[in-house]
Amino acid sequence: MSDKQNKLWGGRFSESTDEFVQAFTASVNFDQRMYDQDIRGSIAHATMLAEARVLSNDERDAIINGLNEIHAEIEAGEFQWSVALEDVHMNIEARLTDRIGITGKKLHTGRSRNDQVATDIRLWLRDHIDLIDGELTRLMQGLLGLAEREAATIMPGFTHLQTAQPVTFGHHLLAWFEMLRRDRERLADCRKRVNRMPLGSAALAGTTYPINRERTRELLGFDEVCHNSLDAVSDRDFAIEFCALAALSMTHLSRMSEELVLWTSAQFNFINLPDRFCTGSSIMPQKKNPDVPELVRGKTGRVNGHLISLLTLMKSQPLAYNKDNQEDKEPLFDAVDTLLGSLRAFADMVPALEPNREVMREAARRGFATATDLADYLVRKGIAFRDAHEIVGKAVAFGVAQKKDLSDMSISELRQFSDQIDEDVFEVLTLEGSVSARNHIGGTAPEQVRAAVARAREALSH
């Protein structure tokens, strides 16, 4: 057969495809990873066609058996992928025809590559959303375990990267948890819109065959069918939505990474990362580099880029399908791979963090972290907050000049700023007193941290 005749769509053409154009337009090098979803979709389609009496039961069985054999062939690494056959769909269909003869050519009855690829992408993304959810859940569980262990470990809380107020390490970790909780909510919400079936829309207008889309939907586990054939084959907003949530999730991981990089530095020395998550230097033997968080921080940019790529891809496409949409897969695939890998790395690493508790506590003692506690103390003595704020400001200025923290000042030194200050002031100027005083939902008191962990575990179990 000539090249044009060997194409599954070659009947209309009078000359072979240019060799460069053939390679340039082919997608099999990257879309072959959807082979499992393509075969599952084809098995469901053949099953439905037989029930609709478009195929005989014997034809259905031959197709399904052939597809299962091809699946095993691919899994074993024995399948020969052909650029000349363009994509995963035509490679599998051509191989099926080689195996079972003319019956293989009947599989494509009532569908188009347009609704086939849209279905395959949704199946693939749904499968990988579930994998991502598993790693995200594992990371969240690890955070909760570490937060519970460190519920009373005092560290400085920062604003503008300057010491602000004392908090607990457990409370800080729960802030990370809340970011991930929202990411997981977005992931679940995105899955609902991914899990709609385009199959049956054919090229763009539906099909004249007596298909049963609800039956195919049921076989493939979709929640519902796409309700408009033009929209079903041409839009990729579900992929854009995924990349948007992936970019947000990576942004959260990047913020966590930045803190881990800072905390492992000699200047902070708040935590130790186990050696298995670090690398050394080729020239400086003392170096222990936090490569995992640094790399996750760097990978955030590529996921942000994939979001922009897909938005730009879709922004001026007329209905219905256009070849532009072949460019949807590589950004989506890489966004999935990057997020999944980053979550796995963090899920392995976070539970293994080793806090340097005394270093954290000593850092919280510097920077007048309990200044707000002193102001609140004065307010409880009847002083207006703005006046209390000024009094404490003067006390801090004195401490800066004398190189003394508020908790290190004597009662006589403190009383020079207000005669309302008594011996009981030292109960609120201690770090433990400060964090314990924030004893409300969302506060940093160890009691509240443990309660928050319990609530989060309960929510995560459902």
Q: Where do the DSSP E strands lie in 111-241?
A: 154-159, 162-168, 196-197, 224-225
Select from 2, 37, 24, 20 the least CA-distant residue to 333: 37
CA distances from 233 to 201, 220, 383, 443 (A): 7, 17, 68, 49
What span, in angstroms and rounded, lies between the C-alpha atoms of 447 and 439? 7
Q: Which helix H or strand E contains 355, and what residues bound it?
A: strand 354-355
- Catalytic residue chosen out of the listed positions 2, 56, 265, 281: 281
What span, in angstroms and rounded, lies between the C-alpha atoms of 322 and 46? 26
359 burial via Cβ count (<10 Å: 0-12, 13-18, 19+) = middle
Select from 400, 401, 399 the least CA-distant residue to 410: 399
Contact, 103 vs 62, CB < 8 A? yes
Q: Does the annotation mark 281 as catalytic?
A: yes
Q: Which helix H or strand E contains 179, and what residues bound it?
A: helix 169-194
- Catalytic residue chosen out of the listed positions 14, 160, 282, 462: 160
CA distances from 154 to 161, 166, 191 (A): 17, 7, 39
- The amino acid sitting at 246 is A
Contact, 30 vs 330, CB < 8 A? yes
Select from 42, 32, 49, 89 the least CA-distant residue to 66: 42
Contacts of residue 373, Cβ cutoff 8 Å, sequence gap at least 6: 165, 428, 429, 433, 434, 437
Contacts of residue 201, Cβ cutoff 8 Å, sequence gap at least 6: 112, 114, 115, 118, 226, 229, 230, 232, 233
Q: Which residues does residue 250 pair with via DSSP β-bridges, in sequence order? A: none
Angle at 96 between CA 95 and CA 101, to 5 degrees: 110
End-to-end alpha-carbon separation of the chain, Å? 58
Q: Where do the DSSP E strands lie in 93-181?
A: 154-159, 162-168
DSSP 426-452: HHHHSHHHHHHH--STT---HHHHHHH
In degrees and rounded to multiples of 5, residue 284 shows phi and psi of -110, 100
Q: Which residues does residue 431 pair with via DSSP β-bridges, in sequence order? A: none
Which residues belong to the active site?
160, 281
